[in-house]
Amino acid sequence: MTNTVLRIDASARHDGSESRALTQRILDRLQPERVIHRDLAKAIPTIDGDWLAANWTPEDQRTEAQRETLALSDTLIDEIKAADTLVIGSPIYNFGIPATLKAWVDQIARAGITFKYTEAGPQGLLAGKRAIVAITSGGTQVGSEIDFASGYLRHVLGFVGITDVQFVAADQLMVDADASHAKANAALEALAA
């Protein structure tokens, strides 16, 4: 049994969202003791010059305004650290991830906190966690040459140290919804709780 899950919903839709429904089915399968929910439909601000300046200022030298600028980022990182498993629900929008999910990535990818630079290259600092990505699309086949979402998510999660990444895909829903749901159901049944 998974103790704590961080559920991240990236769909702009609430009603009728395939990725939200699939994410809920994954949670039902895992039966975690605790769920932390981050709904990215409630926009995550994009990073800007003030954020970058605050991030690159040593912690003990930050102003109160800089600490406030990084407060959401700190909270988002704390949510990941508190979780054993991340369950990320992401539709594919225009061949990639939603902008709000990219904004979340930018907020949590912080040198010295979620990864560090070494002589051998970057090293993730969030090792020992599992991620399950519920990914949906209308026409893009997950894993195809036009899917810029799944590879990116696998890479960025690995970049911060989360290398145990599984996908439950309901892709090409506009092409053949029945086949898409059947494939997602099979992947869901194969998930270890």
Residue numbering of the annotated binding site for FMN:
11, 17-19, 136-139
What span, in angstroms and rounded, lies between the C-alpha atoms of 20 and 134? 8
Cβ within 8 Å of residue 93, ≥6 positions away: 99
Give SS3 for 74. Answer: helix
* Numbered residues of the known binding site: 11, 17-19, 136-139
- Residue 132 has φ and ψ, to the nearest 5°, of -120, 120
Tokens read off for 78: 């704390």
CA distance 62 to 55: 9
Q: How far apart are CA 75 and CA 107, in angstroms?
A: 10
Rounded Cα distance between 130 and 136, Å, is: 20
Place of tokens 């600490």: 67
Distance CA 153, CA 162 (A): 10
Task: Give yes or no for a contact between 19 and 184, defined as CB atoms under 8 angstroms apart.
Answer: no
